[in-house]
Amino acid sequence: MPPSSRVTRDEALHIAALTEETRRLTGTGTLPLEEVIGMARANGLINAGRVDTSTGEFTPVGVSAVRRALRHYHVHPSQLNAPTPATSLSSPHPNWVMARAARARARCARN
């Protein structure tokens, strides 16, 4: 669960999608998270809050809680815009050479 479990994964995905869409449409920076959350709430895409069971009062979570949830679900804009690694592995996994050497030694020991 994220630090604030009041923001579901679907809500975080909606917020991330809206943020990325504004970046693509404007070609510049992203819309501030406060405005994206306000738009999503106004359009009924997210609740992002909790209801007090004794009073029935709805309390929306703050922007910082939404930001933490976005990071937890790996959909924060800085995570989505991160560059890919510059180098790729030339072997299937990091220990491939060591594993091949160990198998070769085992074959030699049997013979």
**Beta-sheet pairing, 49-51 with 58-60:** antiparallel
pLDDT at 71: 92
Tokens linked to 63: 């922007």
State if pTM tops 0.75: no
pLDDT at 109: 77
Phi-psi region of 108 (alpha: psi -120 to 50; beta: other; left: phi over 0): alpha
Residue 36 burial (CB count, 10 A):
24
- Contacts of residue 13, Cβ cutoff 8 Å, sequence gap at least 6: 73, 75
pLDDT tens, residue order, the chain (111 aa): 444 358 889 999 999 998 888 777 766 777 888 888 898 989 888 888 888 888 888 888 888 999 999 999 998 888 887 777 776 667 676 666 666 777 777 777 776
Structural element, H or E, at residue 58: strand 58-60
